[in-house]
Structures are given as C-alpha cells and as structure tokens.
A = this chain, B = another copy of it.
Amino acid sequence: MPPIELRSDNAASVTPEILQAVLTANDGSALAYGGDEITARLESLVREVFEHPGARVFPVTSGTAANALSLSALCPPWGSVLCHQTAHIANSEGGATSLLTGGAVMVGLAGDGYRITPRTLQAALDSIRWGDPHHSQPAVLSLTQPTDFGTLYSVAEIEALVGIARSRDLRVHVDGARLGNAIAALGCTPAELTWRTGVDVVSLGATKNGALSAEAIVVFDDRAADELVYRTKRSGHVTSKMRFQSAQLLAYLTDRLWLRNAAHANARMAELGAGLERLGVELVGSPQANLAFAALPDEVADRLAAADVLFHRLDGLARFVTSWETSAEEIAAVVAAVESALS
C-alpha cells in the first residue's frame, strides 16, 4: 500500500471532471485575461449556484490571493480586520493582507472552538475609540468557514455575528478555502451561508477540493467588485489564459461536484474521528468538516509516521486532513495503524 496522504487536502490530486474540463477548454484560441466564453459562463453559473443575480467572480490561483484581495476591497488602509486569533489570514499568509490592503492590521479575537463569538466580537467593538485616528478602525469581520481546526459556524451563528458587525458598519468576508466542506456538513445552501446572512465577499476555495490551481473571489457587492477589477490586475492575479482557471471552477460548481467531493472528504473524516474516539484518542474540537487535530503522544505519532501514514505535527498535535480522494479503506488502515501504534 502506498503512503496514506493525510497531511493536507492541498496534497491531493485533481479530480477527473476538472482535469477533463481543462482538456476541453484547450480547444482553439480564446481572448486572454478573462475575455473568453468560459469565464463568462462561470459568472453565470456562480450567480445560479449562489442564487444572486449580481454576483461577480474573479478567478485567481491561490487562496492567499483570494483572501488578501477580498480584504483589500473591503478594508481601507487605516482599517483593521477582525478575525479569530487562529485564523489563516492572520497566521499563515505571510502578511499578505497587510501588503495588499496597503497597511491594514489584523486583530485576532479569542473564542472557543476556534470561532469568534458574539461576546468577543462585541467586546472588541466596544473597546475601540471610533473616529480616533490613533486607533486602527475595525472595518471588516472575517470568518474562516470551516475554521483551520475543522469547526464550523452555523448559519444562525453567522447571522448573529454579522448583525453585530453591521451595527458598526463593518463589511463581512468569509475565508471559504474549504467552503464546500462547510456547506456539505451544514446541509445549507451556498446563499444561506453567504449573502443571505450578510456576507459581502467570499474566498471560494477549489484547489483543496479537487481543482488544479483555481480559487475564486465571489463578490456580492458591486463597489468591491469594481475595485477588484484593478486590484487583481495590479497584484499580478489576472492570468492570461484565464479560461483554464475558469474551466476548473466551472466544472467544480457543475452538478454539485464541489459538494459531492466535500461530502466525501467529510465522511472520511467522520469515520476517522469515530475510529480515533473508539481508541480513546482525544480530538481537539469535534471534526465537523475534513480536518481534525488529535493529541497523540510523541512515540505514538512516531510509530504512526513509520507506518507510512502522512500527517503534520503542529504544536504537539497530529493534524489529519481528508480529501476528495481519501478512501474508506485508507481510513480503516489509518485507524488500525493508530491502534497498533498505541499498543
């Protein structure tokens, strides 16, 4: 058996449907920089999938670009972005938001389950001297959905947070690098999880969930979209043969491929979670999507790694991520390997 890949959904390969879409897109010539038909069809499909007739979409090639550009269109340079203190945008993007917003600062809020809570959000807003230029002015609430630890905000939780944010005129961004996993897990619609609850801009991940190199900024606000026309270009995020990014995203959103892939990954994680629980392994947070962190003693983790299970170790925890191509057999083998490592 080859090594079992649980390091990251980024490490997975490309789904057949998306690869086929790339091949199909390679038919003749097409205008560059998004002036092609496939990109036009993508925008139509995004509007349909998100049930929003004015939604606009900007294909990019990295999640960091999607996040930092989204935030740059929502946050003035003197503003701050409120996010959870464990958020990817604050910890794992090398300061991209600072660069692309022209100097906005990130403010990490506390909150159980790696989620901002209404209480921590309200407290953060209450502590600000509004209108005083000595203090960065909160301008955006950014929610990571699911979080980097695999936990989820319910629709009601997002509504509550957006309500508080709106009371101070904050805009709302969702880092949806794994948005499909959240939608699949919550059983809601894309619209319910985004603009219907007041979200302005979504970073819609695709690469982790089966694409080759395509992410999308989905925008429900025209002013932000108008800025992104320029912001994407001047940061080098308008690919010339954009049809190939658009084709990936088009296939991704067609026939619910993204949600099927995500549901698959979630199901594998649920199996892994159940298996680990059965073995008495403590999980940090409950695996609601396709990631989990487990407290494994070092020697157990060493043995598991020696058994060709690929996973990351972060701050003394083992991180497992399932993907669209993780199989039930692999999960069973991993659980068995953990059991053996424990004994």
Residues A95 and B136 in contact in the complex (CB < 8 Å), given A10-B241, A22-B212, A26-B13 = yes
Q: Mark A212-234, 1 if CB is under 8 A from B, else 0.
A: 11000000000000010111111
- Count copies of this chain in the complex: 4
A127 / chain B contacts, CB cutoff of 8 Å: 315
CA of A243 to CA of B100, assembled, Å: 26
A241 / chain B contacts, CB cutoff of 8 Å: 10, 14, 207, 212-213
Among the 9-residue stretches A101-109, A114-122, A263-271, the one with 4 or more Cβ atoms under 8 Å from chain B is A101-109
Q: How far is the CB of A95 from chain B (nearest CB, A)?
A: 5
* A135 at the binding interface (Cβ < 8 Å): yes
- A236–B106 contact, CB under 8 A? no
Residues 48-88 of A contacting B (Cβ, < 8 Å): 60-66, 68-69, 76-78, 80
Among the 9-residue stretches A29-37, A279-287, A295-303, the one with 4 or more Cβ atoms under 8 Å from chain B is A29-37
A76 / chain B contacts, CB cutoff of 8 Å: 227, 230
- A19–B29 contact, CB under 8 A? no
- B237–A62 contact, CB under 8 A? yes
* A156 at the binding interface (Cβ < 8 Å): no
- A13–B32 contact, CB under 8 A? no
- B26–A14 contact, CB under 8 A? yes
Q: How far is the CB of A97 from chain B (nearest CB, A)?
A: 9
Known: A62-B237, A69-B236. 10 other contacts (CB 8 A): A5-B28, A22-B22, A60-B236, A62-B239, A65-B235, A77-B99, A100-B235, A207-B239, A213-B245, A236-B237
CA of A68 to CA of B65, assembled, Å: 15
Task: Report, nearest first, the 10 A-B pairs whose CB atoms are least far apart.
Answer: A65-B236, A133-B233, A10-B32, A102-B102, A78-B230, A5-B29, A98-B103, A94-B234, A99-B103, A64-B236
Q: How far is the CB of A295 from chain B (nearest CB, A)?
A: 18
* A11 at the binding interface (Cβ < 8 Å): yes
A23's partner among B19, B92, B325 (CB-CB below 8 A) is B19
Q: How far is the CB of A331 from chain B (nearest CB, A)?
A: 15
Interface centre among A13, A61, A106 (most CB of B within 10 A): A61
CB-defined A-B contacts under 8 Å, sample of 27: A5-B28, A5-B29, A7-B29, A10-B241, A12-B29, A13-B28, A13-B29, A19-B23, A61-B61, A62-B236, A62-B240, A64-B233, A65-B237, A68-B236, A69-B236, A78-B95, A78-B230, A78-B234, A94-B133, A99-B235, A100-B235, A127-B315, A133-B238, A137-B230, A207-B241, A213-B213, A235-B235
- B19–A31 contact, CB under 8 A? no
A61 / chain B contacts, CB cutoff of 8 Å: 61, 213, 239
A227 / chain B contacts, CB cutoff of 8 Å: 76
Residues A26 and B22 in contact in the complex (CB < 8 Å), given A233-B64, A238-B62 = no
